[in-house]
Amino acid sequence: MQGRRLATTEEIVAIVSPDSDDVVARLESWTAERDISLSTVAVGDDIDHVYDENRATLGVTIGGDGTFFEGIKTFAPRNVPQIGVNTGTLAFLARVEPEDLEAALDEIIHGRAKVDSRQQVVVHGEGIDATGINDVMVEHVPPENPIDRKITQLDVYADDEYIGEFEGTGLAVSTPTGSTGISLSANGPIHYPVDNHTLQLVPLHTHQIGVRPIIVSSSTELRLVTRGPATLLVDGGRANATLETGEEVLITGAERLAHVVRTSYDDHFFTAISKKLGWGIRDVDEPQRQSTTAAREQAGDFAAESVGDDHGLPPGPAPTPSPSRAPGSDSTTPALTDGDSSTVLEHAHTIATEAAEAAGEPLRELHGQVETVDVKSNKSDIVTEADHQANRIITTVIDNEFPDHGIVSEEQPRRNGKNGYTWVVDPLDGTGNFAHGNPNYSISIALLENGTPAMGVVYVPETDELFSAIAGIGAWRDGDPIETTDRDRLDESMLISGYDPDGTFLSHFYQESRGVRRLGSAALNLCYLASGSADATWEHDTYPWDIAGGLVIARAAGATITDERGEPFVFDLATDKRTALLGSNGPLHPALLEHLGTGLPDRSGDR
């Protein structure tokens, strides 16, 4: 989950431990001031009576790690991100202190927090079907007679491969999040848990010195077969079972990840374990070493290259940007509204990238629902909701970072800016494709500088492709530079057609070229032209929001863009008239105009 998505939070559901009245009162005041609804429930209570699945929800736990675990159990199945406020003692997961509550929440609703996707573990067996965030423990049953055998024997398999027999106190199968608990005590490795989707199998009090921990992927199915009675505990007993001799349990990574929100007010992971576990590899009181990115910046390198979502720095004033897919942004960076043009455009590139990827998440989720719905009215509702959610995420993120800029979107009234910068947003280009379960749809975001498209981002949610460009600097696909082809012969060229109502483009070029394809997204057509996947594209008529982002990308990659008569294409945000567009790699343009002109209807009355 992308942290920018949290900027659209509409409600907070808080799970509260006893003796937390002061923190709850502060949370109530904060939400009331920002017109965000708040519901509180006691630890262990169900939230169904207060949770609205149709609203953007943030989960908050107020307590220690035990309360945080209850939050995971409650929020993860609902795909709700959560943050933990620590009113307990030794907390590794609930890492926001009460005095930082309001500042951390402000950071979240401004879209400047990070969301870690944490691996969960799931166990199936006789009398047990449970999910945990920490670990599954299988241990011996204490004998009634103190002189009886006190060990357990387990046969363990990874998928279809026999690992061997483990003899000792038992086994722990933990997630990276749970690697600092029982597993660490048993000499297992410490896992950095952020976006780490693995499981580890750690023997407990093994009777063989050579038996070591094993790391497996989250998709590996671990099968444990008991050779004697054993107990099974999930997350310290939140689910449990007694296993008989010969019983089998299956343990694997859960498909549903838990989303943990991290802000700049949290202790970082290694700071937390240094403070709380006495990890002697560094002195927690001394200043942290510089990040790699900061060190590079001081050395004169461009510092916008991402080192992971929300961990980098805003783009600097260097003459060429990093080709990274999504230059990072410091979560504490204030909104940038003025400054020299290159700085604004580079920062806008970062923000547009993050906004597009955040908006792509609900589109993917709702696209999956469209594919399973047969009733037309239901599909229409889903498409409308997809448009609404994506647009709200994008425009909220832009507004948080650039409050003085104008915003024009297909889905909302126009807002005029004050400083010559206007954003043009199409949250779902290719609505027809989306409505029919077709993956060829995109998100288009552009920034105009004094009316001219100067920065563009086009994101394809289903393929996770990101096209972007800054005028005069370059164009990229997933961080790699792109440029148009150099073909000048029609019979060697692949063409793309947009809206072509009377078939003019198709009829004139299908036989003369290597084919004409129609994808259904004008923004994507221009990006494929820019990246060399096509040699030309034709649109009978376009709206500004259809093409603004793609236009920057195509031009920056070397494309020639004209109208149907060969005149330079004029982007006009003020007009409601649709405009024809012919784009090519350049060398092919004369041949295109020649063949297209012979079949064009007379549109002189429209000019």
Question: Could you tell me the maximum CA-CA distance found in the chain, to the nearest angstrom?
Answer: 102
Catalytic residue among 21, 45, 46, 65: 65
DSSP, residue by residue, 152-183: EEEEEEETTEEEEEEEESEEEEE-SGGGGTHH
The two structure tokens encoding residue 433 = 């494709």
Binding-site annotation: residue ranges for NAD(+): 65-66, 134-135, 150
Q: Read off φ and ψ for residue 260, nearest 5 degrees.
A: -110, 120
Share in percent of the chain as helix, strand, coil (round to 5)? 30, 30, 45
Query: Binding site residues, as ranges?
Result: 65-66, 134-135, 150, 410, 426, 428-429, 546
Q: Residue 207: what are its φ and ψ, rounded to 5°?
A: -95, 10
Residues ≥6 apart with Cβ < 8 Å to 511? none
The answer to whether residue 100 is catalytic is: no
Distance separating alpha carbons of residues 349 and 410, to the nearest angstrom: 21
Q: Which two tokens stand for residue 378?
A: 């239901």
**How many CA atoms lie within 13 Å of 600's alpha carbon, on the beta-carbon side?**
18
| Three-class secondary structure of residue 351 per DSSP | helix
Binding-site residue set for Mg(2+)? 410, 426, 428-429, 546
CA angle 582, 587, 589 (to 5 degrees): 25
- Cα–Cα distance, 315 to 327 (Å, whole number): 7
Residues 6+ away with beta carbon under 8 Å from 245: 226, 227, 228, 229
How many Cβ atoms from other residues are within 10 Å of residue 295's Cβ? 12
Q: Which amino acids are annotated catalytic?
A: 65
